[in-house]
Structure 1
Amino acid sequence: MTAVLFKDLSLSESLNQAIIDMGFEEASDIQGQTIPPLLAGRDLIGQAQTGTGKTCAFAIPIVERIDPLSKNVQALVLCPTRELAVQVAEEFRKLLKHKRFISVVAIYGGDPIQKQLRALQKRPQIIVGTPGRVIDHLGRKTLRLNAVKSVVLDEADEMLNMGFVEDIEKILAFTPKERQTIFFSATLPKAILDLKDRYQNDPVHIQVARQKRTTALIDASYYEIHRRKKMEMLVYLLEQHQFQLGLIFCNTKMQVEELVERLQVKGYSAEGLHGGMPQRKRDQVMQRFRKGTVHFLIATDVAARGIDVSNIEAVFNYDLPLDQEFYIHRVGRTGRAGKSGMAITFVEKSQLPRLRNFLRCPEISLRRENLPLLAQQA
């Protein structure tokens, strides 16, 4: 398939600049195929095992179609988990970097309701939320969807697996019938096909196959562990295996900074890498890691894009990644250049449904390991 450049997609100058700032020039397969019909207002089902790139695949056309002069909610993205909602909202913020008078708010359970009420009072045009919290705000009349132009169900199959089908239908009832309806899903079970028949109008179906990647040299395992025990378990494994060069992934820059500090206190040569750091500092950290003067690099997914160090012995998923593609990208940093490597993932009990979804991917195989005594007590 011929490569599609973002500059050839007839996007506004401000949006193109934001995409350049994010480090992208060439659209991924899912982006190249979905952005044109979505810009044209078509309904769409995007089916792909991969998660990387799918957010921008729907976010770019949504941002482009927002009317900045209207303070109504014009786009709603529903996500199965708060983690994914936060991630999607952050992608929107990056795309809105050079757009004036357009804003996005994430609403999800577990976050103080008063904080969300204040954010909604500023009248954002884009809402990213979990079904339960969206319904909560609809019931309070603090959220109105009567002017929505686009609705996205992200990871639709996972939302249905989690029992959100009634909530989704309740939310859709608050939106105009004449709207753009977009599904992104790794699989298309009958329940999604039923939703398609009921709520979509002649949707475009885009299916993108994942590229084959070799993970045969990687010994991958996971531990089901309580959040409070993860640090203790990490240190135990570092001591047990005596790794000389390792990469530790976290989902947020705050977690990166906290983990760096805690490892340094324990005497480890560790530094962090996240998107909130100036580029010059990120380059300096990477140079020290490549030279081996820093033994453990703690990073977020965005910051770690492009890391290519052949002698990384182990990758730790301190935080379970948000989707399958992030997992494959992370563990692929080890076992390179014909060498073997280890990939160790920490999974909290509440994250087991996401892990099961990962294991549906034929490229992902994880062996469950028993916790040592030190980590068995919560």
Structure 2
Amino acid sequence: MTVSPLTEHEKQEAITSFSALGVCTQLAEAAAALGWKKPSSIQEQAIPHLLQGKDVIGLAQTGSGKTGAFSLPILQELLDKPQPLFALILSPTRELAIQIAEQVEALGSGIGVRAVVLVGGIDMMAQAIALGRRPHIIVGTPGRVVDHLSNTKGFSLKGLKHLVLDEADKLLDMDFEQEIDQILKVVPRDRRTQLFSATMTNKVQKLQRACLVKPVKVEVASKYSTVDTLRQQYLFVPAKYKDCYLAFILNELSGSTSMIFTRTCDNTRRIALMLRNLGFGGVPIHGQMSQPKRLGALNKFKSGERNILVATDVASRGLDIPSVDVVINYDVPQNSKDYVHRVGRTARAGRSGRSVTIVTQYDVEQFQKIEHLTEVKMELFKAEREEVLILLERVNEAQRLATMQMKESDYGGHAAGRKRRSSDGDQNEAASSKMMKVGGRSGRHANRK
């Protein structure tokens, strides 16, 4: 799922447009090399202020390009005044921290930038060794950063020049206030601070007053807006045939990279197994999986080894996955903000995308609220009932096998301690393949005869 390289003409236009913001040629070329055709709205607004040394508070949704907005000015100043432990970027989730670090290193590859990721679920000693190598930029979750400040000998942020709080509303929602306060006590007062948030809550305003000095406020989109390049569709289905309609949608959109959002961890596991039993390349990610399993699942999806990611809302914010073609809301989100975050996985950076929301008889009121607050009238995804129900027998069998596989996994988990928590369904992959072969029909288009 890599971004298509730019043509020579597009590359020159990209370099020119980033240079116009004050970005040096070397970093403008790096942005173009990542496939960025032009600065996003948040980048256009934030970068000039940051290059002037001002604190910035940015209100922008996921997928707006804010990682580039805060990274490019940091890298440019680092290029002029190189020093270790130059910047600290705080993120609410481990996955987002890892992805920010990847993007920072990609942008700074030409100038030899080194970044280290400090997140839970990964060995502290290995992270301490990486800190000992004096990286330029630290990206981490607040809890693990505080752990290292307390326990890693020689690690100090006294020389820090830049502090970034990304997804600040989520940081505060996840009760990181105490850790952020501890970090603010040990970083220099004479620093540049950037705060990015999807929404301006009372908690975010309080944090802004505590850590920013005369900040410039930049805002990209309203709280409930979605991008114009997103085609938003819905499908009204009887609840008992929900899985059947999901299989139909995936068949119709075959060849696309898809994210499917569900409400519960168990449903995420069940759907991923069911889809694998039907021959789709599905992999789940949810809060009950161990960190290595979550990263493994995410990497399979990002590399293209799997083209369907089934996720709970834990993954609907911050996951920087380029070129997701389709977002499917298997469960209608419980509030409109979650809907915006979910569909923000597609139609990013000016590209087109599609979302399909499956609406049952129990979801109509919530669906209407989403349409009202986003001010978007979704179009109907066409599906003939008779054509959908042709799949029913195979879907029922796949459901039965998935339920059985989950029970086997959970039974094994009790015996082994905590196997269920780390289960991402891969232990059932071989079994699924055999079951497909027994059925005599495998592959995505097997039900299209």
CA distance in 2 between partners of 1:181 and 1:257 (Å): 31
Change in CA separation of 1:176 and 1:161 when aligned onto 2, cut-off 3 Å: same
Q: CA deviation at 1:364?
A: 10
Deviating more after overlay: 59-68 vs 149-158: 59-68
Question: What are the within-5 Å matches in structure 2 for residues 44-59 of structure 1?
Answer: 44-59=56-71
1:107 is aligned to 2:118:
yes
CA distance in 1 between partners of 2:284 and 2:322 (Å): 11
Change in CA separation of 1:372 and 1:97 when aligned onto 2, cut-off 3 Å: same
CA distance in 1 between partners of 2:101 and 2:31 (Å): 15
CA distance in 2 between partners of 1:250 and 1:40 (Å): 43
CA distance in 1 between partners of 2:57 and 2:299 (Å): 38
Change in CA separation of 1:256 and 1:203 when aligned onto 2, cut-off 3 Å: closer
> What is the match of residue 329 of structure 1?
347
Counterpart among 40, 63, 82 of residue 75 in structure 2: 63
> Which amino acid is 1:80 matched to?
P
Q: CA deviation at 1:155?
A: 0.5
Counterpart among 199, 212, 223 of residue 187 in structure 1: 199
Change in CA separation of 1:253 and 1:52 when aligned onto 2, cut-off 3 Å: farther
> What is the match of residue 121 of structure 1?
132
> Which amino acid is 1:88 matched to?
I
Q: CA deviation at 1:316?
A: 8.9
- Indicate if the aligned counterparts of 1:12 and 1:64 stay in contact, CA closer than 8 A: yes
CA distance in 1 between partners of 2:173 and 2:76 (Å): 32
| Unpaired runs of at least 5, structure 1 | 240-245, 261-271, 275-295, 336-340, 345-357, 366-370
> Which amino acid is 1:90 matched to?
E
Change in CA separation of 1:364 and 1:181 when aligned onto 2, cut-off 3 Å: farther
Identity, in percent, stands at 32
> What is the match of residue 432 of structure 2?
none
> What is the match of residue 279 of structure 1?
none
1:234 is aligned to 2:252:
no
Look up the SS of the partner of 1:5 in the other structure: helix
CA distance in 2 between partners of 1:116 and 1:157 (Å): 27
Change in CA separation of 1:87 and 1:258 when aligned onto 2, cut-off 3 Å: closer
Q: How many residues align?
A: 304
Q: CA deviation at 1:16?
A: 1.7
Look up the SS of the partner of 2:218 in the other structure: strand
> RMSD between aligned alpha carbons?
4.1
Question: What are the within-5 Å matches in structure 2 for residues 26-105 of structure 1?
Answer: 26-66=38-78, 70-100=82-112, 102-105=113-116
| Unpaired runs of at least 5, structure 2 | 1-13, 236-259, 286-293, 310-318, 331-337, 360-369, 378-397, 411-449
> Which amino acid is 2:190 matched to?
E
1:304 is aligned to 2:323:
yes
Task: Say which one has the larger Rg.
Answer: 2
Change in CA separation of 1:115 and 1:326 when aligned onto 2, cut-off 3 Å: farther
Look up the SS of the partner of 1:110 in the other structure: coil
Higher strand share: 1
> Which amino acid is 1:225 matched to?
C
Higher helix share: 2
> Which amino acid is 1:111 matched to?
I
1:138 is aligned to 2:149:
yes
Post-superposition CA distance 1:25-50 (Å, at most 9, x none): 31000000000111111111000224
Change in CA separation of 1:225 and 1:363 when aligned onto 2, cut-off 3 Å: farther
Change in CA separation of 1:185 and 1:14 when aligned onto 2, cut-off 3 Å: same
Please, what TM-score do these two structures have when normalized by structure 1? 0.68
- Indicate if the aligned counterparts of 1:38 and 1:44 stay in contact, CA closer than 8 A: yes
Look up the SS of the partner of 1:169 in the other structure: helix
Change in CA separation of 1:109 and 1:179 when aligned onto 2, cut-off 3 Å: same
Change in CA separation of 1:25 and 1:168 when aligned onto 2, cut-off 3 Å: same
Look up the SS of the partner of 2:276 in the other structure: helix
Q: CA deviation at 1:190?
A: 1.4
- Indicate if the aligned counterparts of 1:88 and 1:128 stay in contact, CA closer than 8 A: yes
1:225 is aligned to 2:265:
yes
- Indicate if the aligned counterparts of 2:46 and 2:69 stay in contact, CA closer than 8 A: yes
Change in CA separation of 1:211 and 1:250 when aligned onto 2, cut-off 3 Å: same
> What is the match of residue 9 of structure 1?
21
